[in-house]
Structures are given as structure tokens and as C-alpha cells.
């Protein structure tokens, strides 16, 4: 049994070495290929015991076809519904909420109008995830938020991400500084939702997750706790150990990105709350 475990550990270690090698190649090639590396350079203050860098992952629909930024539905100030749009990153089982706001740009947003962002779907308070944490546009104030004093006059124009567990609130319009404490009740969370560094390839409009924004908070489940769990802006270390890496891109659609990097491209499936195939009707 010990021998079997040893073989398994060796296989896992080899996969990790391969991943780290391929990601290193990807980053170097991207820098050379003229694609800005600014958004996904790792902060030197974070501790990454397993992955030396984040994977480059193309966003695909459940059939494995890359989605385009133009396909993402938009939420406007008069929207009454918005689908849950989620993908895992940087590891499996780590949801992020994909969101596009109509008629406004967002700090750190991507796409032709700079209005597309992806924020962690893991609440920074105690870790509740989608769908307990989700986006509610201006025309859809959740019942739980109404109980703490929100109404159509004080629910922000472009809505909030609201966690039904204990009422944490995050303003997507503020990009990576999205913690919201301007409403009738304070947010139990004490820092913003981490922000995924997205990239839209101008050649084919395909979308990629390239890392976590180095200025944003650490993903709630990545808190590094050498001396006990720490919360707030003092958290500077991120622990990616023990997770499952994303699969390699397996679709038949050629990716323009493939000619810009020499390393592997991984994939992450975008799932929605809508009926029918992506992007469905909203
Ligand atoms: S876990 Fe989200 S508000 Fe507590």
C-alpha cells in the first residue's frame, strides 16, 4: 500500500512539475508575444507552495466550445434578472462569478467596453459559495436584503453581489475594491471579493482566465494560516496546495492564443442558471 501511495504521489508530483513547467513557458511566451503580462504577474508577497504560477485557461461552454465576450449577457440598471454565470478557477471546485454590466466600464474590466469582470464566488466572510452568494441587479433585491433595510431607493444602480448566509455585500462596479458598506446594514465580510485577471483575445474574442489580480484579496479558501487563520487586508499569503488542477483544453475550435504561447492552455467550463445551451436566453 505504501508503495502504491508512493507511486501516486510521484504521479501527482510529476503532473505538478509538468504544469509548472508549461505555465512558466506560457508566461514567457506571452511576454514575448506582445500580450500584456501585467495583469497576471504574481505578487512577490504571496506564497505558492504548489503552483509557481496560475494556469492560462480558456472559458468554454458545457460542450467544450470557447465562449466569446460578446456572448455574455449584460445587466443594466433596469434589469430584473441576471443569470448565475460561474466557472472554476484557478483550481477545480473554486467558483467565480462572471458578470457584464451594460453602459458602464468597471475598474479592471475587460472586453471592448471594459465592462466584464469575474469575482470569486466564495464569500470572504465565512466561505459560503454560489448560489448563496450571487449577483442581484437593481430590479431584483433579494428578500434577505430587504429584511436589513434595502429597497429600490438604496439598492445600487448596478446592483450588488449579496451573500444570503449573513448579508455580506459587494459592489461589482468597484472592480477589485468591491466590498460594500454604504447601505443600511454593514457587510459582515471585511474585505473585497478576489478578482480573476481575465483576458479577451482581440483576434477571436475568446476569453481566458490568466490568474488572480495581484492587488485583490486572497481567495477565502486559500488563506495561509501558519499561525492561525487571519482575516482582512493583512492577509498576504495564498495557499494553492492540495487542489485539483483544471483539465487541458480539449475542444476542436482553434484558439488564436495557441499561436501566442508555447505552453499548454487549460479549460474551465462556464455554467449558467439558464435553460438550454450557452448562452441561453435571458
Ligand atoms: S458567509 Fe457570506 S455573509 Fe457570511
How many CB atoms lie under 10 A from the CB of residue 218?
A: 21
Confirm whether 45 is domain-assigned.
yes
Confirm whether 67 is domain-assigned.
yes
CA distance 172 to 109: 10
User: What nine digits make up the cell of 26?
Assistant: 506560457
Residue keyed to cell 485539483: 244
Task: Please provide the DSSP assignment of 167-208 as one string.
Answer: --EE-GGGTT--B---SSS--S--SPPPBEEEEE-TTT-BEE
User: What nine digits make up the cell of 217?
Assistant: 484579496
Give the DSSP H or E segment for 32. Answer: helix 2-32
The pLDDT assigned to 78 comes to 93
Ligand 1 centroid to Cα of residue 180, in Å, is 13
Confirm whether 108 is domain-assigned.
yes
Q: Is 78 helix (H, G, I), strand (E, B) or coil?
A: coil
The pLDDT assigned to 32 comes to 30
Q: Render each residue's pLDDT in the chain as its tens digit; 282 residues.
A: 444 444 444 443 444 334 333 333 333 333 333 333 333 333 344 444 445 568 899 999 988 999 999 999 999 999 998 998 999 998 888 999 999 999 999 999 999 999 999 999 999 998 899 999 999 999 999 999 999 999 999 999 999 999 999 999 999 999 999 999 999 999 999 889 999 999 999 999 999 999 888 777 778 777 655 454 444 444 555 666 667 889 999 999 999 999 888 778 999 999 887 655 566 554
Q: Which CATH number does the domain housing residue 32 bear? A: 2.102.10.10
Asked if residue 47 lies in contact with residue 237, where contact means CB atoms within 8 angstroms, the answer is: yes
CA distance 182 to 190: 13
Confirm whether 32 is domain-assigned.
yes
Site to substitute for ligand 1 among 189, 194, 231, most atoms within 8 A of C-beta:
189
Domain that holds residue 261: 2-272
If we measure between CA atoms, which residue out of 231, 244, 139, 138 comes closest to residue 179? 231
- Structurally, the chain folds into a number of domains equal to 1
Confirm whether 100 is domain-assigned.
yes
Ligand 1 centroid to Cα of residue 105, in Å, is 27
Confirm whether 280 is domain-assigned.
no
Confirm whether 278 is domain-assigned.
no
The pLDDT assigned to 8 comes to 44
Ligand 1 centroid to Cα of residue 34, in Å, is 40
Sorted by sequence, the CB contacts under 8 Å of residue 263 that are 6+ apart come out as 21, 22, 23, 24, 25, 26, 27, 29, 56
Q: Which residues are near ligand 1 (CB < 6 Å)?
A: 123, 125-128, 163, 165-168, 188
If we measure between CA atoms, which residue out of 35, 2, 77 comes closest to residue 257? 35
Confirm whether 35 is domain-assigned.
yes
Amino acid at each position: 500500500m505504501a508503495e502504491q501511495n508512493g507511486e501516486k504521489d510521484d504521479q501527482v508530483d510529476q503532473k505538478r512539475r509538468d504544469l509548472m513547467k508549461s505555465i512558466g513557458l506560457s508566461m514567457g511566451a506571452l511576454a514575448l508575444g506582445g500580450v500584456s503580462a501585467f495583469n497576471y504577474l504574481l505578487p512577490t508577497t504571496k506564497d505558492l507552495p504548489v503552483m509557481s504560477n496560475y494556469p492560462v485557461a480558456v472559458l468554454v461552454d458545457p460542450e467544450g466550445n470557447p465562449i466569446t465576450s460578446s456572448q455574455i449577457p449584460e445587466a443594466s440598471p433596469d434589469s430584473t434578472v441576471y443569470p448565475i454565470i460561474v466557472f472554476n478557477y484557478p483550481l477545480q471546485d473554486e467558483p467565480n462569478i462572471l458578470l457584464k454590466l451594460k453602459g458602464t466600464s468597471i475598474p479592471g474590466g475587460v472586453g471592448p467596453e471594459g465592462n466584464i469582470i469575474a469575482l470569486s464566488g466564495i464569500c470572504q466572510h465565512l466561505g459560503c459559495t454560489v448560489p448563496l452568494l450571487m449577483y442581484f441587479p437593481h430590479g431584483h433585491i433579494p428578500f434577505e436584503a430587504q429584511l436589513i433595510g434595502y429597497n429600490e431607493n438604496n439598492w445600487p444602480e448596478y446592483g450588488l453581489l449579496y451573500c444570503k448566509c449573513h448579508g455580506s455585500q459587494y459592489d461589482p462596479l468597484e472592480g477589485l475594491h468591491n466590498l460594500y458598506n454604504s447601505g443600511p446594514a454593514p457587510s459582515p465580510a471585511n474585505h473585497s471579493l478576489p478578482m480573476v485577471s481575465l483576458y479577451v483575445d482581440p483576434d477571436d474574442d475568446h476569453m481566458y482566465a490568466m490568474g488572480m489580480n495581484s492587488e485583490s484579496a486572497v481567495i477565502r479558501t486559500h488563506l495561509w494560516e501558519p499561525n492561525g487563520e487571519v482575516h482582512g487586508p493583512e492577509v498576504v499569503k495564498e495557499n494553492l496546495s492540495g487542489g485539483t488542477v483544471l483539465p487541458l483544453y480539449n475542444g476542436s475550435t482553434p484558439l488564436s492564443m495557441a499561436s501566442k504561447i508555447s505552453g499548454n492552455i487549460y479549460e474551465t467550463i462556464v455554467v449558467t442558471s439558464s435553460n438550454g445551451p450557452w448562452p441561453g436566453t435571458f
